[in-house]
Amino acid sequence: MQFFVLVARLGSLAAAARAIDLTPPAATKRLAALEARLGVRLVNRTTRSLSLTSEGETYLRHATRILADVREMEDVVSQGRATPRGLLRVNATLGFGRTVIAPLVSQFAQRYPDVEVQVEVTDRPVDLVESGFDLAIRFGELPDKRLNARRILSNRRFLCASPGYLERHGTPATLADLASHRCIIHRQNDDAYGIWRFMHRDHSEAVKVHGALSSNDGDIVLGWALDGHGILIRSEWDLAKYLDSGRLRVVLPEFRLPAADLFVYYPSRRNQPVRARAFIDFLADHFKGARQRHG
């Protein structure tokens, strides 16, 4: 089951073989033996691609759940052990996962050498239960009610622009003024394009904005704002050092934007693995310290 789940996740027999130190012929033989024992074809293979059959999809769904149950059983049996150990699968967003979470995993691995950590970064939403992840790290609240969440960082969002842009184009005094400004749009998931939503005196207001530059990557749009191309929405986590240095200024601070708090999400199981608890506590301690250092 572990082998098949790996093949399905990586989408390649060769990649699965490399991951578990098998030769490609041995991986092919293992898959063929599994299909022969079940009496059904689990995958459709060509020289360039691999896709699951409907039977393969069913096998994957059940195998993922069973493997998660086995891990949970082992965790329950070994709860008395003080030292976290075993496999921890973590999902995080691309940029934040690469620049912030990966270095923290390095520190965590030094503290807990008996924990094997697998980190997968992707900006698309993931189903923790179906994908077999122990936890996901995301900004903003997820709609999946099957999950538990722990906030590890409060993170407000602001309108901001460079001093150079504001000198050339003026500083907006009202939300209506944004319509005549160049706005840099960060496209995220299914958010309505170019619609910015604010709260002011307990009222919600939506503004349609326009601009020549947009991207789905947060670092790219932040760079454009620093270069003076327009007004941008970013979180205080991203802005802190630029606001401190004066490279960016907050615009219309009296209008509140939806927060981008950082959460750790995990399947709503009663018996959370010791290693998962240790990692979540490790993250919470780090971000609490980071917030205190940044004031």
Measured distance CA(45)–CA(61) in Å, rounded: 20
Six-digit token string for 116:
């094997």
For CA atoms 163, 168, 169, 173, the dihedral sign is: positive
Q: Is 271 helix (H, G, I), strand (E, B) or coil?
A: coil
Helix (H) or strand (E) holding 42: none
Separation CA 184–CA 222 (nearest Å) = 9
Q: Are 165 and 251 in contact (CB under 8 A)?
A: no
pLDDT along the chain (295 residues), means of 10: 89 86 90 94 84 92 86 68 82 90 96 93 78 87 72 92 97 94 84 83 89 90 96 92 96 92 81 85 88 54
Closest CA to 198 of 166, 156, 165: 156
pLDDT on residue 88: 93
Give pTM, 2 decimals: 0.67
Q: Which domains does the chain have, with CATH numbers?
A: 1-77 (1.10.10.10), 79-153+262-295 (3.40.190.10), 157-251 (3.40.190.290)
Give the Cβ contact number of residue 191 at 10 Å.
12
Cα R_g (the chain), whole angstroms: 23
Contact 295, 236 (CB under 8 A): no
pLDDT at 270: 61
CB 156 within 8 A of CB 235: yes
What is the rounded distance in angstroms from the CA atom of residue 59 to the CA atom of residue 55? Answer: 6
Tokens of 138: 């995301």
Q: How many helices (H) and strands (E) does the chain have?
A: 11, 14
Where helices occur in 112-158 by DSSP H, the ranges are: 128-131
